[in-house]
Chain A
Amino acid sequence: LKLFSGDQVLRIKAKDETQLAVLKDLVHFKHLQVDFWRSPLSPNLPVDVRVPSCNLQAVKAYLKSHGIPYSVMIDDVQVLIDKEREAMAASRRL
């Protein structure tokens, strides 16, 4: 059973095409194991990316070094998964 403890989802807003290209490069850095929930497509659209906890520092540093603004959309993915499970179990009992 795969755990997502400490994984975060970052919402990133690229300002222009240059920053968008930097985000697209992130797709190719396979060692960072990022999972794009919303892909880098246009500066008008936000990008959401799940980042494993072990690579958070590296990804955030990468974004900062390129001046790309982001916010933490989900602080801990596993907490939400646990809540989903509890909700499903409660529903089943009901």
Chain B
Amino acid sequence: EKVFHNRDHSDVQNFNSRQAEAITDKYAAELFLSRYGFIKPVNWEEIQLEDLEPSSHSDLLDDFEGIIQEGTSSHYSRDSRVFVSALEEFQRVSALPVTGVFDEATKEAMNKPRCGVPDKEVDPNDPVRSHRRRQSVNISVDVHESRAVRRR
């Protein structure tokens, strides 16, 4: 068990708990923005459904990292307009000064505790969503699929 001494467990000590990697640089910020849909809306429901096949089970974070590293590099890089635009959107909705710069206030906001559900999702009420499921998703799913194919 996690050690505690108070009756209400208010002093529980997490000696072995993992710490979330702090977002300290633009690379991590880009991952953050991508994860929560600021670069491109995330098909959240699709993500939870697709990976129920044991053979295609993968780490979403690895997928996002794969996006950055592998290669459809023409889509965005750290200094691209897409990244800046996404950063500005995040700053706007977080009531931060919209600078387009990964500044201290933005860094602090990104490191706050938050819900894991993306902020920007593919609209689940889009009547043609079911037909566009494979086409409208972002690069992450394309890469995810190609990796899954390679794995198989």
A binds B: no
